Copies of this chain bind each other. A is one copy, B any other.
Amino acid sequence: MKAIVNVALKQGVLDDQGKATHHALDTLGFKEIVKDVRIGKQIILELNSDNEKDAKTEVKNMCEKLLANTVIEDYSIEIIG
């Protein structure tokens, strides 16, 4: 079983990596098309589990303890059977 966790900065939190990338894209000629850039992490976990509900609970624990800084980040979990 696999879990895909997407971790992104909460709205309103300054995304300096996104700003820097946006600036670089502007200088590369994409100024007209790019309005905003935000960058997050995608964590792919291979799991020893065959129960989707249990797996989701465990991954939520991992997010709360380590994978996301829940003060400034949101996370989403997708379990792939």
Could you list which residues of chain A lie within 8 angstroms of chain B, going by C-beta atoms? 6, 8, 18, 21, 24-25, 28, 30, 32-49, 55, 58, 61-62, 65-67
Which chain B residues border A28 with CB–CB below 8 Å? 62, 65-66
CA distance in complex: A28, B62 (Å): 8
Q: Given B32, B41, B65, which contacts A41 in the complex, CB threshold below 8 Å?
A: B41
Which chain B residues border A61 with CB–CB below 8 Å? 30
Which chain B residues border A36 with CB–CB below 8 Å? 45-46
Q: Chain B nearest CB: distance from A57 CB in Å? A: 10
CA distance in complex: A44, B35 (Å): 11
Which chain B residues border A33 with CB–CB below 8 Å? 47-49, 55, 58
User: Are A45 and B40 in contact (CB-based, < 8 A)?
Assistant: no
Q: Chain B nearest CB: distance from A55 CB in Å? A: 8
